[in-house]
Amino acid sequence: MDAATWIGSLGVALLLLAFFLSLFRFIAQDGYACIGMNIAGAGLACWSSWMIAFIPFVVLEAVWCLVATAALARRLRPRRVQASCTTNGREDREP
């Protein structure tokens, strides 16, 4: 097998492993493991598609990698604390 086939096979294996593990709830779909496998798998599949000049899959895998990267960025962003018991700037109180 040539390099493109090895790289593509590894990428697809990572994507399928992430899909299987999240589908059967061995890992969280929004967890670091699943997101990481999607980024790595899509990146490798994109690279191998580029190596063989198959542009439709370059686009598909690049978008997949970007969406997974956005999910990671969202996961890493600190959560905002929401104020509770307020409406229109006033506290809700029972009379």
Residue 76: what pLDDT? 93
pLDDT value at residue 82: 72
> Nearest-CA neighbor of 42 among 6, 4, 12, 75?
12
95, pLDDT greater than 90:
no
Does the predicted TM-score (pTM) go above 0.75?
yes
**Two structure tokens written together for 3:** 């390099």
Integer Cα distance of 29 and 23 in angstroms: 8
The predicted-structure confidence for 44-71, as pLDDT tens digits, reads as follows 999 999 999 999 999 999 999 999 999 9
Question: Which percentage of the chain shows pLDDT scores above 90?
Answer: 80
- HSE-CB at 51 with a 13 A cutoff on CA atoms is 13
Domain spans, the chain: 3-76
Token match 């191998």: residue? 48
